[in-house]
Amino acid sequence: MIAKMPTIAAIAYKTAKGQPIMYPRNDLSLRDLLADTLSVATQFAVPSEEFLIDPVKARALEIILILHMDHEQNASTSTVRGAGSSQANPFACIASGIAALWGPAHGGANEAVLSMLEEIGTVDNIPEFLFRVKNKIGSQRLMGFGHRVYKTWDPRAEIMKETCDQVLHRLDKYDPLLDIAQKLEQIALNDEYFKSRNLYPNVDFYSGITLRALGIPRSMFTVLFAVARTVGWVAQWREMACEKTRICRPRQMYIGEMHRDVPQHVFPPQHWPEEDKSMISHAKSPGLNPTPSRLLGRTVSVKWNPNQHV
């Protein structure tokens, strides 16, 4: 499953674009194979020519995969474990993880960072944008900052930033979004508003720019995320299957209203008939404590008579 996922992702993209499918090469490593296969999706390779693997690009893609392989009990991983606890097969469990990752709040974070940088437009617009964020004007949010787990720097962000610089330098490619990102990071890290709220750059802040520099289309960002996270999903599923854990059943506590006044025309009062003692059932075994029973909508006690046989 881990080995086939990159091929499935690339073939799906090529099919959607109506382009010829390039089959994976058996002489490549998984990292180079993924770089070669996905390069087909970005039209770097054609069936009539051999595509040469750029080691810097391949290494950057490998780092992105490693950083996204597994990361605690996130939404998709918890979904995989929840589905696996019912003894569903691993293919169904991985599919459930993909469905959870499909949500933009989980798998679309790096896309949201690029959209935010494009919305800012230029470095000169950063102060105004941050002012709107801090004063909650409109729907502006600072994407790529903060994390549910890390209350300081995301350690993956530093590696991703270094990788991004290497890729842009290797390609000799100028990306205006990188200037905006670097300036935005500099201002935010020195702003007491963001520091007091522990809002520091996370891995998504630079991964989107790196993928964009590699030529990966934005529609494939979440797909690449799923390709990498499949390793973690399978590991989590296997760990859970080996431990023979019980089915996942989160506890839910009701904290709502204990009493509600319902209008009589919605639920008119019920008039129950008088209790018929002859209809009261008796316990069939001696030694039982009186237990409640439902009779005509009312709760009555069941009494056992040792002299009466049922």
Q: Active-site positions?
A: 147, 204
List the one residue out of 16, 51, 15 whose CA is nearest residue 34: 51
Query: What's the one-letter identity of residue 230?
Result: T
The values of phi and psi at residue 196, to 5°, are -70, -20
The helix/strand count (H/E) of the chain reads as: 13, 2
Joined tokens for residue 297: 């909508």
Residues near 237 by beta carbon (within 8 Å), at least 6 away in sequence: 80, 81, 84, 90, 93, 94
**Cβ atoms within 10 Å, residue 13:** 21
What distance in Å separates the CA atoms of residue 104 and residue 126, rounded to the nearest whole number? Answer: 24
Pair 69, 225: CB distance under 8 Å: no
The values of phi and psi at residue 294, to 5°, are -95, 125
The single-letter DSSP state of residue 289 is P
Calculate the alpha carbon distances from 267 to 160, 261, 272 in Å: 61, 10, 15
What distance in Å separates the CA atoms of residue 230 and residue 95, rounded to the nearest whole number? Answer: 10
Sign of CA dihedral 263, 268, 270, 271: positive
